[in-house]
Structure 1
Amino acid sequence: MDAVSQHCRPCYRGGWHGMNPIRYQEDVKEFLKQVCSHIRAKEVHHEVQMELEGHLQDIIEEKLDRGIALNTAIKEAITQMGAPELIGAQFHKVHRPRTDWKLLGLLSFFILFGLVAVFTAQASLVQRLGFSSIGLKQVIYVCVGGLLMLGIRLFNYQKLASYSWALYIGTLILLVYSITTGYRLNGMDGYLQLGRFVVNVVSISPYLFLLSLAGIWTDKPTNQLTESWIKSIARSLWLNFGILLIPCVIFLKAHSLTDFILFFLGSASMLLTLKKSRSILITHVTLIFGSAFFFLLTSHHRSNSFDRWMAFLKPKEDTQGFNYVLTQSKEAITSASWWGHGYGTPLPTLPELHSNMMFAYLIYCFGWVAGILIFLMVILFIFHSLQISGKIRDTYGKALLSGILTLFVIQFIWPMLMSFGWAPLGAFSLPFISYNGTLVIFQFAAIGLILSVYRRKDLLGIQTKRQN
């Protein structure tokens, strides 16, 4: 063995995790450069280089043990690895960014059907009110939201994790500000006027809170071993319950049971995904329902909220009062038959037909066939959502996905059940189909985050394997 090999052998024995001498060899650098040139996802270049260096290290050490000179061993090892363009193509196939075309297909259906639905509702409202511009507004919101979704899709969602606490506190401040200084609309607080547009801050808050909770609950503190058990219990109570209680109280204070339910079920889904202990889940349910029950008993708005939900249990009573909307919805669906009454047919007896009761109005106009079609597409969305969740390995991405998808599933299912009188009347409306104002822009942004998580599901393969 020559002097160079004898001198370099101890360096190689030290392993390739530190200052690896082979990475500074020109042949090795050129080989790695050629391989990475065929991998479009630059995020995995570093991990790919480390992976290949490890294989080269093993081959070179084996050749050095056989007495082959270092330079010769390096050249033979590179040759043995294979053609760099083939290796790069294989890595690119495994770790290339993915596009969830099925989700985009379902979203396209909801958008197209939604535009038809909103213009249909506009035609009905024009006959009733004489003027309505919800169709044009919906087109603007869809265009803005669609562009935002495509931009967020290309964004690395993991960068949001470090801003979780800032997002949580900022959302609290914005929510309190909107309730105290904004105005009330349709019995709900928290509306802010931004130029010509009105933003319902309360309705977008569940999305922002769940986005922050995904990062907070998946963060692993470094000082757990050194802190006392008292501090450990206090920190656990705050992280698992305290940060939930504050938003819940604010939602109830804003008289928005809808967003309270969305936040409760979204956070519960996230806890299940993160496999929290049974005691945490039980306390979560007890805490949330306890705060809601206390509010309903003590608030001066108790009678309206409580009585409206209790009326759902007696659908045949008070059909001209609290059960009026549900009664009119069921009558509209019953009278529709298979093909409905036609585009833009007026339905003055059904309030909020462009938003909360859009599903019933679509059936009234286009028949039971339209209702069945929407139902089937929603079922496909739910099953596809479950498939997506099973493919994500990143804990933060999985938590984020579970919370957002839960919000969409509830907002799809509840209005459909509500239209048949199978769920209490609430301010739930079909995403992308009903007219939701500026909220649809944030719903597009949420879909963009889902696409971002899915896009990077294979870019994190090496990192996840090494962490495990």
Structure 2
Amino acid sequence: MTQQKKFSETLVVLVCLLSIMSCVAIFMAQQTNQYDANFFRMQLIYILVGFTVCYLISKINIAFVRDHIIWLYIAILILLVGILIPNPFVEAVNGATRWYQLAGFSLQPSEITKSAFIIVLAHFAVKYEQNLWKQLAVFWSLAVVVLLFIMKQPDLGTTIVYFISAFTISILAIKSTKAIIAIILSFIVTISAGLYLVIYNVAILEKLGFHSYQFTRVYTWLDPASDPNAFYQIDRSLKAIGSGTMFGSNGTSVYIPESHTDMIFSTIANQFGFIGVSILLIIFMLFIHQIIVTALSMKSKFSTYVLAGFAMMFAFNIFENIAMTIGMMPLTGIPLPFISYGGSSILGNMIALGTMLAVIKSDNKETLHSA
């Protein structure tokens, strides 16, 4: 119990440090006067609400959740389907329907349901582990339905995050080395075919439900000169990061579109330089490392799969967001976990933290439950 408590406390402390850095970075981003809203104050409120929700979720009985897992999956589908059906609470923004609008606040269901998605997949991965083909059929049937609903919004970036989490759990749960090799090879072939179609025959992908603007970002990433306007945000980001030098730009802000949300890493690099960015990355690495170490120490396979899914989810989110700000990856709408401004993002990440705490606390009981 002492070790479990230590794991949980370490995760909470690291998230507290990230939350402090988030508030400082958003305060600095706000100095560019891009908007009239007080994002710093709102982020403080989101974080306080998020920690409250995290605490409540950490008290949940995981065994009870697993006994009623089908209702959790149905709840995921209701939230995701509801946003695709025209109703007074949904408003299209730039051609995408990703948010519920209520009383001036917006809620992105795909951020909120990440934790439930991982819990559901980990449960069925364990439940059918003795039957490989049934395990794969049930696991990926449940996963693909959710992925298709998110893709329909459309939200390619979040779809990839969900897929990466599912893929990680699936590989860990499979006991057959041959099956693992076959799945990994299939994954590589699929990605290669997708890249080929993006470059040489994009019309096929558009028929499958993808959108042209998603490929425009890829083309701009491969050849910035092809569309200087589309490259503008990355260009500003690179200038902001470069001007941060070692210790920051001494209060001189560089204008960056969405500097408080998706591009907040550029703001941190600009204001606090290489030293500030290094501190942020060290905290992120410690956070991911702690989740992995905790996952390896769990007695229940279910607990291990859940924590592994979260580790990969956060790791990919962090990599993708930072990589896009420095031009290593195409632009996406993926926020930087615990740092970017946004109620849905903060709430989703705090739900994930609360879920991990609940899973860690109930690990011994889950061993009996799995048996």
TM-score scaled by structure 2?
A: 0.85
2:200 matched to which residue of 1?
none
Corresponding residue number in structure 1 for 2:179: 279
Alignment of 1:430-441 (within 5 A): 430-441=336-347
- Aligned structure 1 segments of 4 or more residues deviating by more than 6 angstroms: 93-96, 290-295
Question: Partner of 1:427 in structure 2?
Answer: 333
**Which residue does 2:215 correspond to in 1?**
306
**What is the distance in 2 between the residues matched to 1:295 and 1:202?**
26
Match of 1:392? 298
Which position in structure 2 is the counterpart of 1:115? 23
Point out the structure with max Rg over C-alpha. 1
1:353 Cα deviation (Å)?
0.9
**CA gap 1:313/1:448 in 2 versus in 1, 3 angstroms:** same
Q: 1:326 aligns with which of 234, 237, 261?
A: 234
Cα deviation digits, residues 236-258 of structure 1 (max 9, x gap): 56403322222222222212111
Percent identity, aligned pairs only, is 23
Describe the shift of the 1:134–1:274 C-alpha distance in structure 2 as closer, same or farther (beyond 3 A).
same
The offset of 1:186, in angstroms, is 4.5
What is the DSSP-based 3-state SS (H/G/I as helix, E as strand, rest coil) of the residue aligned with 2:114? helix
Q: 1:318 to 1:351 in 2, by over 3 A?
A: farther
For 1:194 and 1:172, how far apart are their aligned partners in 2?
A: 20
Name the counterpart of 1:103.
11
Provide the alpha-carbon RMSD of the alignment: 3.1
Give the counterpart letter for 2:11 in structure 1: L
Aligned residues of 1:337 and 1:368 also touching (Cα < 8 A): yes
Q: TM-score by structure 1 length? A: 0.69
Contact 1:333 1:364 in 2 (8 A): yes
SS in 2 for 1:189: coil
Q: Which amino acid aligns with 1:137?
A: M
Preserved CA contact (<8 Å) 1:172 1:247: yes
Q: Find out whether 1:190 has 2:90 as its counterpart.
A: no
Decide whether aligned partners of structure 1 residues 283 and 161 sit closer, same or farther in structure 2, where only a CA change above 3 A counts.
farther
Partner of 1:257: 156
Instruction: Describe the superposition over 1:356-402 as per-residue Cα deviations: whole angstroms up to 9, x where unpaired.
Output: 11001111122221111111211222222221111111122112111
Q: Output the CA distance in 1 between the equivalents of 2:135 and 2:53.
A: 36
Structure 2: where are the runs of 5+ without partners? 198-202
Instruction: Specify whether residues 329 and 237 from structure 1 end up closer, same or farther in structure 2 by C-alpha distance, changes over 3 A only.
Output: same
Alignment correspondent of 1:170: 75
8 Å contact 1:340–1:365 — kept in the other structure?
A: yes
The alpha-carbon deviation at position 342 of structure 1 amounts to 3.9
- Structure 2 distance, partners of 1:346, 1:118, is 13
Separation in 2 of the partners of 1:256 and 1:415?
A: 15
**2:359 counterpart of 1:453:** yes
Q: 1:394 to 1:237 in 2, by over 3 A?
A: closer
Contact 1:249 1:291 in 2 (8 A): no
Q: Give 1:3's aligned residue.
A: none
Residues matched between the structures, number = 358
Q: Deviations over 1:149-177 (max 9, x none)?
A: 12222333232112222222221222111
User: CA offsets, 1:80-112, max 9 Å, x none?
Assistant: xxxxxxxxxxxxx77986652221221111011
Post-superposition shift, 1:301? 5.7
Q: Flag the 1:346–1:96 CA change in 2: closer, same or farther, 3 A.
A: closer
* Distance of aligned partners of 1:397 and 1:109 in 2 relative to their CA distance in 1, 3 Å threshold: same
C-alpha distance in structure 1 between counterparts of 2:298 and 2:156, whole Å: 31
